Every structure is written in structure tokens, then in C-alpha cells.
Amino acid sequence: MEKYIKPFVDASVGVFSSMVGLSVTVGRPYLCEINSPHEWDISGVIGLTGQARGAVVLSMKKDLALSITTALTEKAQQEINEDVVDAVGELINIIAGNAKKGLESDFKLVISLPTIVEGPKHRIAWPLEQTRIICIPFTTGDGNEFWLSVALESQQGA
């Protein structure tokens, strides 16, 4: 399982460093329950299909989303708005795209367009209840946290 998670971790670290200018520390990945409690305010969701199927979700609190968007747009953000939604969508799109490249030797994947879910303590409805969801916590250099959740199930028996 670790080799399937590593491309997502590497992509997340790279995107936050190069696009947002934030160094991040990767926490210990863990299996999370579909209805695990959380404190997220916004999530970007990308569906995965092809030789494997599932989803990858980038989730964070409002303050980090505003800070990221401010860094990307060079315009101070006060509330979750269209710019913030676009920024979170772009981040998850690039993370999923880069991870897809890292998985090409194992799976041919197609990624969907990003969908954004917002609101305090929102819930993600995962596509497959039997799929294990791996949650990967990250902490930015300034102490903010975000999570990347990955559910990936092989369609080829791998």
C-alpha cells in the first residue's frame, strides 16, 4: 500500500513548496473511517477511474485556505469565496495529476475535474464503502494542518 500512497505524499509536498511557498511535514498515514470526526471547512475532491478507482481529497480549515489563496493571488482573502474555491480546486488537481504520473507503472488512471465541498465539519460521501481510506496528515511550517485522504481500489486485481 505504501507505494500507492507515496506519489500522493510527494505530490502534496512538492505542490505546497513550489506553488504556495510552504514547507510541510508529513504525519503518519492511518486508516480513517468514512464518518470520522474532523474540523475541515473546505475540501477539494478528485475522482479516479481506469485500472483503479476511487478518490483523493484535500481538506483543510478556513484559515489555511485563505492563507494559501492570498499567497497564490497576492490579494488578501477574508472569507471563502470564488478565489478560494478555485485555489483549492487547482491544488487538488495538480496533486492528483502529479500522483497519477507517479502511479503510471502500476495503473492507467483518469482523473475527474475537481469538486469543492465547503462548510464547517462537512462530510465527504466516498464512492465505495468497502474501499479503505488512507488519511495523510500534513503540518505546514507555520503550524496549520491539512489532510490528504486517498481511497484507491484496483480494478485489475492488483
- Residue closest to 98 by CA, chosen among 58, 128, 143, 60: 58
Sequence-separated (6 or more) residues with CB below 8 Å from residue 57: 43, 44, 45, 46, 92, 124, 147, 148, 149, 150
Q: Is the pLDDT of residue 89 over 60?
A: yes
Q: What is the pLDDT of residue 36?
A: 72
Q: What is the pLDDT of residue 130?
A: 62
Q: What is the DSSP letter of 43?
A: E
Q: What is the pLDDT of residue 158?
A: 44
pLDDT digits (tens, 9 = 90+) for 95-135: 999 999 988 888 889 999 999 999 988 888 776 566 788 99
pLDDT digits (tens, 9 = 90+) for 14-61: 999 999 999 999 999 998 877 776 889 999 999 998 888 889 999 999
CATH of the domain at 105: 3.40.1550.10
pLDDT digits (tens, 9 = 90+) for 73-87: 999 999 999 999 999
- Residue closest to 17 by CA, chosen among 98, 85, 78: 98
**Cell numbers placing 58:** 484535500
Q: Is the pLDDT of residue 137 over 90?
A: yes
Q: What is the pLDDT of residue 54?
A: 86
Q: For the chain, what is the domain count?
A: 1
Total Cβ atoms within 10 A of residue 25: 11
Q: How many residues would you count in the chain?
A: 158
Between 79 and 4, residue with greater pLDDT: 79
Asked if residue 57 lies in contact with residue 124, where contact means CB atoms within 8 angstroms, the answer is: yes
pTM across the whole model: 0.91
Average confidence (pLDDT) over 60-73: 96
Q: Which domain holds residue 65?
A: 2-154
Q: Which helix (H) or strand (E) segment is 12 a member of?
A: helix 2-15
